[in-house]
Amino acid sequence: MRLVFAGTPETALPSLRTLIDSPRHEVVAVVTRPDAQSGRGRKVHPSPVAELAEEAGIEVLRPLKAGDPDFLDRLRALEPDCCPVVAYGALLPQSALDIPRHGWINLHFSILPAWRGAAPVQHSILRGDEIGGATTFQIVKELDAGPIYGVVTEEIHTTDTSGTLLERLSVSGAGLLAATLDGVEDGTLEARPQPADGVTIAPKITVTDARVDWTKPALHVDRLIRGCTPAPGAWTEFRGQRVKLGPVRIVPGERLPAGEIAATKTKVLVGTATDAVELGEVQPQGKRVMGAVEWARGVRPEGKEIFK
């Protein structure tokens, strides 16, 4: 099939590489978000998908909106049979959905109908799911509600962050997406409606959502920090300034008042509503990432000083 691939971040790269290498399909163009500021210097850079496409000599389309008339005209001229989508990051109007004869097929990083929305992997870790996965489905107007082609599953480890889980799912999901397109092309695969039961929503995790509440149980704190790693980054306040937190380790039987910091030469503990947690990496506001012991050596927390 002639494919126009839509995607933006690094998460989409395994799928794009797999489809570029496929002997059965031709990626004639990619659709991605416009170039944006990134990095410490806030310079304007193309998206990871745009960079890979340009390296491969594939046309790149960067519409401000997927309903822009010029974009729709170019998409029609490309005559795609199907448009696979992985983390594109923008809504697709019906005028765009109607162009490819096999529609737009999305790779979504959850086992639908669970965790429809922008942050399925983060929410699966926040809620303590033991199994995650990825689903291919036909895009319809309603959010992540289209009929399903296929699913892959992945065990969620107790040490997983949203970053490590998403990395694994992006690889296994790339194989699922390629197999889905193969089945659509040869007519052996038919989409099935999603179950009516089990629908959950996974809205974007904001910076405000990522603030640690030390009055919650240790398990909640652990899941919040892992779910927000690497983005948007879990954080707390110390002496009026933000401190970003990497994953922590629950210390069974060790108790401290909520938020209270206990630092020794070898570890830094913080109290929660239940067991204390041991800090891993931290990043003080405006500074580099460092180990918690190094951070404590510099700031010297006083007796019973707390995170807020």
CB atoms within 10 A of CB 246: 19
Residue 20 counted as an annotated binding residue: no
Helix (H, G, I), strand (E, B) or coil at 297: helix
User: Which pair of structure tokens corresponds to residue 131?
Assistant: 């199994």
Residue 176 counted as an annotated binding residue: no
b/e per residue 1-28 (b: at least 16 CB within 10 A)? bbbbbbbbbbbbbbbbebbbeeeebebb
Residue 15 counted as an annotated binding residue: no
Kindly write down the DSSP assignment for every residue of 62-118, as one continuous string.
--SSTT-HHHHHHHHHH--SBEEEES--S---HHHHTSSTT-EEEEESS-TTTTBSS
52, exposed or middle or buried, with CB in 10 Å at 0-12, 13-18, 19+?
Answer: buried
Residue 170 counted as an annotated binding residue: no
Q: Which segments are annotated as binding site? A: 110-113
Q: Which segments are annotated as binding site for (6S)-5,6,7,8-tetrahydrofolate? A: 110-113
